[in-house]
A and B are shown apart, each in its own frame.
Chain A
Amino acid sequence: MPEYIVEENALKDFLQSISKGRVLLSPQGVGDKCQITETTPDKVTLNFTNTHISPKTLFFPQTEWLMSFQKDHSKPHPYVYQDLGDKAKSAVVFGIRPCDAKGLSVSNKVFQNDRFTDPYWKGKYESVIKVGLACKDPFPQCFCVAMGGSPYGATGLDVLAFPSEKGLGLKPITDEGAKLLAEANLKEADLSSELKSQEEAAIKAQGIPDDYSPIDHRGLLNLFQDPQWQSIAENCLNCGVCTFICPTCHCFDIQDEENSEGGVRMRNWDTCMSWLFTVHGTGHNPRPSKTERVRQRFMHKLKYIPMKQNGDRGCTGCGRCVVLCPVNIDIRSVALRMSTLNMQKQA
């Protein structure tokens, strides 16, 4: 597929064209207010670090009303269940970072696979065309390369945009992306060599990545029984910030809220850092202490998800949890310790 180029002054027209008949979503605001929101072409900027909280909110909002039910026998339909899932709107998101797109593709396999399909996720995920923005200058907290990604990675994207010498380069990834670009009436250009050299420079800018591959090679029980979890748990506050801001954390809690007429079934983000997450109706809790809960988070990200998703890790190196953890529990150090432990056990 050919690459395209959009000159800087034509960016607005391009965005106008791709958002025709669709909602345009793009990162807006700065710092802790930077979020992907509905916007107009003239407000789009390429000058943002990354969204403060991961863009999973687009497809998996913190609170989502799934359905309602009514229990009034005087009405003609005393037990009516009505689907209340967000009506999916056809949209294009411009400026999603490769780490987040990859993270969402991990969640996508959880919500849609050969065993289950979650209609609430599917509707929203599939009606949004994802135009990613490559990271020419990775940020200090970034470690996507170490996690097997790239600042120019295309996983989970329909189109990859990157800053080129002549303007904004666009590389279609999927058929849908190619169609979007073909309709936009753009100038074709061969940017493959520029793309390649940019990617190499950006990867280099992240420094020599840590090698986490030993985690993948067997050793599930070794990792599980590692005494390091206790020392990590000693620091951990179990606050759950890491799970709420993570692009791949997808656990939720189903709740019914009722009034005298009926009720609503909703799902809310949940966090494995909370003791309530696993407590049983009997009062028994299979993860009774911080140690088990901390272990669950890292094992899930770095071991269980790769085992289920052909080696794709549940961490994409966006660095949010590294920055926001109040007690500086750094997933990079944890992953490194998991790797070295595994090597020792095998040796």
Chain B
Amino acid sequence: MPSLEETTQKIRETAKKALADGKAEVVIGYKKGTYPLSTAPFFARTPEDCDQLIWSNFARINLANYLPGRPGKVAVVAKGCDARSIVGQVAENQFHKDNLYVIGVPCTGMVDNNLIAAKEQRPYRDYSETLDTITLKGADFSTEIKKEEVLRRNCRTCANRTPKTADELVGPEVPGAQADDFADLKELHSKSPEERMEYFKDLIKDCLRCYACRNACPLCYCPVCFVDETRPQWLGKSTDPMDTLTFHLLRGLHCAGRCTSCGACETACPVNIKVREFNRITEETVMDEWGYEAGLSWEQKPPLTVFQPDDEASFIK
């Protein structure tokens, strides 16, 4: 596997070339964040800008989010999941494939800062990272943490780490992890309806209704979200638990057959709600019913935009 520095170099070269060849007017990538363990999205427009692009274990935000509605030719740095989101956006006519140049980065997973916080409570002002380790440096200590132990949960079960639909890969393909077997959801199903509702109500009890999960999601590009509709108003603005649950349910349903488990929603959540839990239910459904995984090829049609005359639905009487 190439190191982070090698990948960074390769991204910079590819970005410069994409700009020089007129494949793109802007390259959307990541730059180093101003705070330990963070990156910021970066819009590189000149070759000098491109030297700020980096690759990191903290490139968590899905840059496909910046594509819908963007004018001009764009190159975008994409992980496996991001590239899948881009395929979805192209299928939904949110972005034209001709204006797109996807710089694919085979990814070995991104780090969940909350898991790091659980391992190291002492304050640190500096850090360094390699492909497999994170080193935190405090006033009088230095802790090395293995990346494997602090991967985001969607990264642990990511079977599509190599962005196969990318225009160019900046590194060799990486093997996917063991795919999500939804074991915890299956276990949940063995519980009573009361217990299940208790679980989900408890899951979202801290929700601030800031909608960061929605805004960080590359699929949520509706000009007016249902939560913002006022005529009629579908959702109360208070912290009523049922309004909050309705928001999460509908967001989950809207993403059915489109979610690529990029985890941007969970990364953005300020109160660490496992919002992807709702998406996983629909993910499991589309997998079980139609054997569909979002964004794996340019040809496939999203499952809710097509049908088979003999679709099985025995619960409909």
The answer to whether A330 touches B61 (Cβ under 8 A) is: no
Q: How distant is the Cα of A345 from the Cα of B211 in the complex, in angstroms?
A: 38
**Which of B193-201, B236-244, B300-308 forms contacts with chain A?**
B236-244
The answer to whether A141 touches B239 (Cβ under 8 A) is: no
Q: How distant is the Cα of A52 from the Cα of B271 in the complex, in angstroms?
A: 8
Q: Which chain B residues border A241 with CB–CB below 8 Å? A: 210, 212, 268, 270
Nearest chain A CB to B37 CB, angstrom units: 10
The answer to whether B40 touches A245 (Cβ under 8 A) is: no
The answer to whether A140 touches B124 (Cβ under 8 A) is: yes
Among B34, B39, B237, residue most surrounded by chain A Cβ atoms (within 10 Å): B237
The answer to whether A239 touches B208 (Cβ under 8 A) is: no
Q: Does B287 reach chain A (CB closer than 8 Å)?
A: no
Given contacts A31-B117, A32-B272, A140-B123, whether A239 and B34 have CB atoms under 8 Å apart is: no
The answer to whether B35 touches A257 (Cβ under 8 A) is: no
The answer to whether A266 touches B238 (Cβ under 8 A) is: yes
The answer to whether B35 touches A141 (Cβ under 8 A) is: yes
Q: How distant is the Cα of A239 from the Cα of B272 in the complex, in angstroms?
A: 15
The answer to whether B35 touches A32 (Cβ under 8 A) is: no
The answer to whether A271 touches B239 (Cβ under 8 A) is: no
Among A137, A241, A274, residue most surrounded by chain B Cβ atoms (within 10 Å): A241
Q: Which of B40-72 contact A (CB under 8 A)?
A: 40-43, 60-61, 65-66
The answer to whether B208 touches A244 (Cβ under 8 A) is: yes
The answer to whether B236 touches A257 (Cβ under 8 A) is: yes
Q: Does B132 reach chain A (CB closer than 8 Å)?
A: no
The answer to whether A326 touches B268 (Cβ under 8 A) is: yes
Q: Which chain A residues border B38 with CB–CB below 8 Å? A: 328
User: Which range contains the number of A residues in contact with the other chain?
Assistant: 35 or more
Nearest chain A CB to B120 CB, angstrom units: 12
Q: Which of A212-238 contact B (CB under 8 A)?
A: 231, 234-235, 237-238
The answer to whether B236 touches A255 (Cβ under 8 A) is: yes
Nearest chain A CB to B44 CB, angstrom units: 12
Q: Which chain A residues border B60 with CB–CB below 8 Å? A: 326
Q: Does A300 reach chain B (CB closer than 8 Å)?
A: no
Q: How distant is the Cα of A62 from the Cα of B33 in the complex, in angstroms?
A: 30
Q: How distant is the Cα of A238 from the Cα of B239 in the complex, in angstroms?
A: 20
Q: Does A86 reach chain B (CB closer than 8 Å)?
A: no
Q: Which chain B residues border A53 with CB–CB below 8 Å? A: 208, 270-271
Number of chain B residues close to chain A: CB under 8 A: 43
Q: Does A79 reach chain B (CB closer than 8 Å)?
A: no
Nearest chain B CB to A262 CB, angstrom units: 16
Q: Which chain A residues border B66 with CB–CB below 8 Å? A: 234
Q: Which chain B residues border A237 with CB–CB below 8 Å? A: 65, 212, 215-216, 268
The answer to whether A240 touches B114 (Cβ under 8 A) is: no
Q: How distant is the Cα of A40 from the Cα of B272 in the complex, in angstroms?
A: 27
Partner of A276, one of B34, B61, B228, B268: B228
Q: List the A residue with the shortest CB-CB distance to B223.
A: A275
Q: How distant is the Cα of A276 from the Cα of B223 in the complex, in angstroms?
A: 11
The answer to whether A326 touches B267 (Cβ under 8 A) is: yes
Nearest chain A CB to B64 CB, angstrom units: 13
Q: Which chain A residues border B237 with CB–CB below 8 Å? A: 253, 255, 268, 270
Nearest chain B CB to A211 CB, angstrom units: 17
Partner of A327, one of B61, B211, B228: B61
The answer to whether A62 touches B210 (Cβ under 8 A) is: no
The answer to whether B34 touches A333 (Cβ under 8 A) is: yes
Q: Which chain B residues border A332 with CB–CB below 8 Å? A: 34
Q: How distant is the Cα of A270 from the Cα of B236 in the complex, in angstroms?
A: 13
Q: List the A residue with the shortest CB-CB distance to B238.
A: A63
Q: Which chain B residues border A10 with CB–CB below 8 Å? A: none
Interface string of B19-46 (1 = CB under 8 A from A): 0000000000000011110111111000
Q: Which chain B residues border A266 with CB–CB below 8 Å? A: 238
Q: Which chain A residues border B117 with CB–CB below 8 Å? A: 31
Q: Does A178 reach chain B (CB closer than 8 Å)?
A: no
Given contacts A140-B123, A237-B268, whether A326 and B228 have CB atoms under 8 Å apart is: no
Q: How distant is the Cα of A269 from the Cα of B239 in the complex, in angstroms?
A: 10
Given contacts A140-B123, A235-B40, A237-B216, whether A32 and B268 have CB atoms under 8 Å apart is: no
Q: Does B191 reach chain A (CB closer than 8 Å)?
A: no
The answer to whether A63 touches B239 (Cβ under 8 A) is: yes
Q: How distant is the Cα of A237 from the Cα of B60 in the complex, in angstroms?
A: 14
Q: Does B125 reach chain A (CB closer than 8 Å)?
A: yes
The answer to whether B212 touches A240 (Cβ under 8 A) is: yes
Q: Does B183 reach chain A (CB closer than 8 Å)?
A: no
The answer to whether B34 touches A328 (Cβ under 8 A) is: yes
Q: Does A323 reach chain B (CB closer than 8 Å)?
A: yes
Q: Which of B202-241 contact A (CB under 8 A)?
A: 206, 208-212, 214-216, 228, 230, 236-240
Q: Does B118 reach chain A (CB closer than 8 Å)?
A: yes
Q: List the A residue with the shortest CB-CB distance to B40.
A: A328
Q: Which chain B residues border A49 with CB–CB below 8 Å? A: 123
Interface string of A307-330 (1 = CB under 8 A from B): 000000000000000111011111
Q: Which chain A residues border B121 with CB–CB below 8 Å? A: 30
The answer to whether B215 touches A238 (Cβ under 8 A) is: yes
The answer to whether B211 touches A240 (Cβ under 8 A) is: yes
Could you list 6 examples of A-B contacts with CB < 8 Å?
A32-B270, A53-B271, A140-B36, A239-B211, A326-B212, A328-B33
Which 3 pairs from chain A and chain B are nearest by CB? A239-B212, A328-B40, A326-B268
List A residues at the B interface (Cβ < 8 Å). 30-32, 49, 52-53, 62-63, 137, 139-141, 231, 234-235, 237-241, 243-245, 253, 255, 257, 266, 268-271, 274-276, 322-324, 326-330, 332-333
List B residues at the A interface (Cβ < 8 Å). 33-36, 38-43, 60-61, 65-66, 114, 117-118, 121, 123-125, 206, 208-212, 214-216, 228, 230, 236-240, 264, 267-268, 270-272
